[in-house]
Amino acid sequence: MTGGYLKGRIRREDIITAAAAAYGELGYHGSSLREIAKRVGISHAGLLYYFPTKEALLAAVLERRDAEDSEREQLTVPPGLAVLRHFVALAEHNVRHPGIVDLYSRLAAEAVAPDHPAHEYFVRHYRAARDGVHESFAALAARGELRDGVEPALAALTFIALMDGLQVQWLTVPGDVDLVGSLRFYLQNLLTVPL
């Protein structure tokens, strides 16, 4: 790796970090490339060298977020209790990283509009999250570890929605909301075995 290449990578990562912070504070629509360049301490033209459009930079921010999540998730975990415990662990991680949660909540609320450049990302994100949890609830149901009458698809949908809704309330008044305890409460209430 040449010094120039390494310097370029660091600069690129710096821009992504600054963009994530700006999106969290001002929203995607409220953040200009000019403002983000200023935060990094480079010129507008210098930023355009790495990210020629606003959309390209947003895509890089979302890609990094997914890469960080996948790194933490052991994708070899079989469907069932272990997957649910993983989500609780993700919530424990999020409690220590409010900036990431803030960025995610802001973008999710903006990206409900079909013409938002992150819209398709969130459509895929929600489906993948629901499908993953659905599979685990179905496996639990097959083993008799889900309470009678609990429909795995609805349990999955409400679980993902609950995580999102709790995050916004927790960001608003951290002291009022036990993020991790609430998720445990919800999951335990669906199960016939300890979480």
Write out the residues near its own copies by the rule CB under 8 A. Answer: 25-27, 29-30, 102, 105-106, 108-113, 119, 122-123, 126-127, 130, 147, 149-151, 154-155, 157-158, 160-166, 168-169, 171-173, 176-178, 181-182, 185-186, 189-190
C-beta of 16 vs 166, nearer to its own copies: 166
Here the tokens at position 124 are 């895929």
Length of the chain in residues, anyone?
195
End-to-end CA gap in the chain: 47
Give me the least distance between CB of 2 and its own copies, in Å please. Answer: 41
At 96 the three-state DSSP class reads coil
Instruction: Scan for tokens 């790194």, then name that residue.
Output: 71
Here the tokens at position 1 are 């790796």
**Residue partners of 18: CB distance under 8 A and separation at least 6:** 36, 39, 40
Give me the least distance between CB of 68 and its own copies, in Å please. Answer: 20
C-beta of 50 vs 122, nearer to its own copies: 122
Give me the least distance between CB of 171 and its own copies, in Å please. Answer: 4
C-beta of 50 vs 137, nearer to its own copies: 137
